[in-house]
A and B are shown apart, each in its own frame.
Chain A
């Protein structure tokens, strides 16, 4: 463990939802719209929706999966879409292709399901995002832990989930800083493996804190 050269700047991002021009009333329409909607709509209904529903521990993954279950009553398709982990993607295009491919496969196997109208339409939205600073920019591990415990869950989402698209790396801001600035590669790796789909964002925060505290204690003892 070493003293970081650069502080960790805790930021947060705030989202303002825009209602898009596209909507889908059937699975076929969803399949078509998924191919043509703006990137920021895909981002909204996968990455951002996790922030809006950060308090749900289990059973919510993305808006497409939720609609397929609640409006179209297609649990198989819903489970397949829900199993997509946004953290496997460092660019929206790959995520879009995966979603389109899952719906495409399903419709080929269940062509009749494609034209059945859902209980309610799926409205494509997007968000205008404003990144804000927080009062926390620690240059030590204790300071990092203090900031981590005090920032909002929006900040955790910003650094832990949205960061992939910014970094274009299979990593997150916390792991990057801990590995590059503090020399804690194992802690960085452990943080990267936290499952966001079986935790609330508050749970993610606690797990990160625990990993960092354990790494810090272990390093101090050795």
Chain B
């Protein structure tokens, strides 16, 4: 029998049956062997505290999923006036419905967002149907390659790959019905479903969750004609968009303030988790939460901590995952351990992916949160830290400058030395740290919460319906 970590390394899960709903698709799965890429074997085979102390047994198995929250549960967070605005927006949309289509029902950020978004829209009486496309291993190998190519990796786009992509899109097009007022296609995998557009009354929207700022030209040239047939496209950052002849909207990614990762925690829970991990809450705690990935620069964070520690007392917590299921992650973890040396104040935690509550507690216990990425998508770990009111130091890359307004909602840095200086400054200027932490929290509340995301969808359907009606009346 393979260990859990070996399973994670060796397989990915994809829905393949002709299922209609995400729940069915989640059940109807098959395991696909990941091709052997000849990378080094991971060193760590189970989650562990990097400096030798084993993780507590409580984190070794995943907790049961929490039920999704109701709209009313957000009242104390966003206030009645914002809930009223959602109700007013939804009121004029009664009878309109939305269809969301993506490529996976479980795992990944899109499924995570849809799992929360769909019930909230339904509660506002805007019925939202969620379908998952199906495909064989060959389809998902092609779409994975497309995904990497759209992120900038070079890729040879073959005729065979194009045919596989088109064939599965056609199969799904024949299977799915599009009777709603708005159809939202998430990411490139199902983009070809737009060919059904002319048979429907819907407004079609392409929601792109990935960074298209520097795509492989051949793959983008192949996908672009599909994208241009949509009524609108949505991107997560201005810098991720392309020049297109259709309107492009900006929907920031969001966090759910009621999720395990972000909900309020009693201090006793925070204390217990810190005790379990050997984190001393009586002394300053500097934390970076991220996968052990070179693009997150964990070694740079260790160097910055060491530079800062010449002036200020603190501990460094590097909490993340990826070392157990990713060969490169294991190598990076070893590099981090080497950089840390025998410093007992550096606590390295290689956590399994279900440790949301533990991450929440560590972030809440932290004095400062760092996200010294060298390249980043939107950077939701920054959003999480800001939401918890933590003074945050982050690399000025990807979507981070959308979240951190330098010296107002956090601090942006461009080097190890800059990061070290800001750690020193924030630890010795608690009033300033508190002020930017509070502003960061408000910034997230205004722009990056799930409820704001719900509002954006309601606004979009209203705007597109208005445009459709203008077209119909020739005004």
> A residues within 8 Å of B by Cβ?
12, 14-19, 21, 52-56, 59-60, 66, 70, 119-121, 123, 125, 128, 130, 132-135, 150-152, 154-155
Contacts and interface: CB of A to CB of B under 8 A. Distances in A.
B470 to A, nearest CB: 13
A125 B463 contact: no
B78 to A, nearest CB: 9
Contacts of B238: 19, 123, 125
Interface of B: 79-82, 84-85, 88-89, 235, 238-239, 241, 243, 247-250, 396, 401, 405-409, 412, 439, 442-443, 446-447, 455-456, 459-460, 462-463
Given A19-B238, A19-B250, A150-B81, 10 more contacts: A12-B85, A14-B85, A17-B250, A21-B243, A56-B409, A56-B439, A121-B239, A125-B238, A150-B80, A152-B79
A10 to B, nearest CB: 10
Contacts of A150: 80-81
Given A66-B405, A134-B81, A19 B443 contact: no
B82 A130 contact: no
A82 B443 CA distance: 20
Contacts of A125: 238, 250
B459 to A, nearest CB: 4
B81 A55 contact: no
Pairs A-B, 6 closest by C-beta atoms: A55-B442, A123-B238, A152-B81, A17-B250, A16-B459, A19-B248
A55 B235 contact: no
Contacts of A21: 243
A66 B85 CA distance: 30
B239 A120 contact: yes
A119 B455 CA distance: 32
Contact of B89 (A53, A59, A130): A130
A191 B235 CA distance: 39
A132 B85 contact: yes
A152 B322 CA distance: 42
Contacts of B408: 56, 59-60
A204 to B, nearest CB: 15
A126 to B, nearest CB: 10
A144 B81 CA distance: 15
Contacts of B442: 55
A112 B3 CA distance: 62
16 contacts: A12-B85, A15-B459, A16-B456, A17-B250, A18-B248, A19-B235, A19-B238, A19-B241, A55-B446, A60-B408, A70-B406, A70-B412, A128-B459, A132-B89, A134-B81, A150-B81
A55 B401 contact: no
A35 B80 CA distance: 41
A119 B439 CA distance: 24
Given A19-B241, A151-B81, A14 B247 contact: no
Contacts of A55: 439, 442-443, 446
A34 to B, nearest CB: 17
B132 to A, nearest CB: 27
Q: Which of B439, B447, B455 has the most CB of A within 10 A?
A: B439
A16 B460 contact: yes
Nearest to A71: B401
A128 B470 CA distance: 15
Contacts of A154: 85
A121 B401 CA distance: 12
A14 B446 contact: no
B462 A120 contact: no
Contacts of A18: 247-250
Contact of B446 (A52, A59, A121): A52
Contacts of B250: 17-19, 125
Contacts of A119: 396
A144 to B, nearest CB: 16
A70 to B, nearest CB: 6
A32 B238 CA distance: 20
Given A19-B241, A52-B446, A150-B81, A133 B88 contact: yes
B151 to A, nearest CB: 18
Contacts of B443: 53, 55
A15 B447 CA distance: 11
Contacts of B247: 18
Given A130-B459, A134-B81, A16 B243 contact: no
Given A14-B85, A17-B249, A18-B247, A123 B239 contact: yes
A132 B462 CA distance: 12
Given A18-B250, A55-B442, A150-B80, A70 B456 contact: no
A16 B85 contact: no
Contact of B84 (A53, A128, A130, A135): A135
A52 B84 CA distance: 19
B334 to A, nearest CB: 33
B79 A16 contact: no
A70 B407 CA distance: 10
Contact of B447 (A12, A52, A130): A52
Nearest to B232: A18
Contacts of A130: 89, 459, 462-463
Nearest to B242: A19
A115 B462 CA distance: 42
B251 to A, nearest CB: 8
Given A128-B463, A152-B81, A16 B249 contact: yes
Contacts of B81: 12, 134, 150-152, 155
A133 to B, nearest CB: 6
Contacts of A151: 81
A151 B85 CA distance: 10
Given A16-B460, A59-B407, A119-B396, A54 B85 contact: no
Contacts of A135: 84
Contacts of B447: 52
